[in-house]
Structure 1
């Protein structure tokens, strides 16, 4: 459910929403990494100036911990072209 929200959020921000993909990797007990892959042009848009955009997204995801005890790490990566 979290990865679906992040995917929709990233598609709204990206200039090339068709290139956005999100995957979830379990790194241990109650700890997952969510990897957002997008075009090189959109990585800066998703991170934002001084990291403000990605930090806002991390804050929203932290609030989701009230429903489920899993912690998340969000990583934005550029697609290899």
Structure 2
């Protein structure tokens, strides 16, 4: 029996073998609930070098403040969450936030703001 999953992630804790993929999936689903332009948000993960993985968050330029948070509190909370994963898989994680790498996916409403 699966626990209640309000973010509708496609995995349970027992099913998650690649923690960086699970973290990226969770962060994308969570952050899409926080930002104004969820269609512009994406989260990617990659192995940088031995023992270091990077999670890159791409968001609409107007949503950068929502992702970083007041005085960096949101991104600090994300880093704290991800540091818990380090205990499970042994990798260090680097979190980076960028303005959307594909500005053409933005709708007309966002262009007028």
Taking structure 2 as the reference length, what is the TM-score of the superposition?
A: 0.67
Unpaired segments ≥5 residues, structure 2? 1-21, 104-113
1:23 to 36, 44, 56: 44
Q: Deviations over 1:16-65 (max 9, x none)?
A: 11111111121111101111101001111100111000001100110111
Counterpart among 72, 77, 92 of residue 71 in structure 1: 92
Indicate the structure whose relative CO is greater, using CA pairs within 8 Å and at least 6 residues apart: 1
Count of paired positions? 81
Runs of 4+ in 1 over 6 A off after TM superposition: none
TM-score normalised by the chain length of structure 1: 0.91
**Secondary structure, in 3 states, of the residue corresponding to 1:45?**
helix
SS in 2 for 1:42: helix
* Rounded Cα–Cα distance in structure 2 between residues aligned with 1:44 and 1:58: 16
Q: Unmatched 5+ residue regions in structure 1? A: none
Tell me, in whole angstroms, the C-alpha distance in 2 between the residues paired with 1:7 and 1:44. 16
Residue 2 of structure 1 corresponds to 23
CA RMSD for the aligned pairs? 1.1
Q: For 1:65 and 1:25, how far apart are their aligned partners in 2?
A: 15
Larger radius of gyration: 2
Counterpart for residue 34 of structure 1: 55
